[in-house]
Amino acid sequence: VEQRALVTRLKSMISRFEDTRDIRLLGAYQGGVDAELDIAVRQVPLIYEALTQAPKDRPSADPFSDLARHLKSKLNADAGD
SS3 label, residue 18: helix
Between CA 29 and CA 37, with CA 31 as vertex, the angle to 5 degrees is 80
What domains are there in the chain, each with its CATH number?
2-79 (1.20.1270)
Write down the pLDDT at residue 11.
94
pTM over 0.85? The answer is: no
**Angle subtended by helix axes 63-79 and 35-51, to nearest 10:** 120
The model's pLDDT over 57-72, given as tens digits with 9 standing for 90+, comes to 888 888 888 888 887 8
Do the Cβ atoms of 51 and 67 come closer than 8 Å?
yes
Residues of the chain with pLDDT under 50: none
| Residue 80 one-letter amino acid | G
Do the Cβ atoms of 70 and 43 come closer than 8 Å?
no
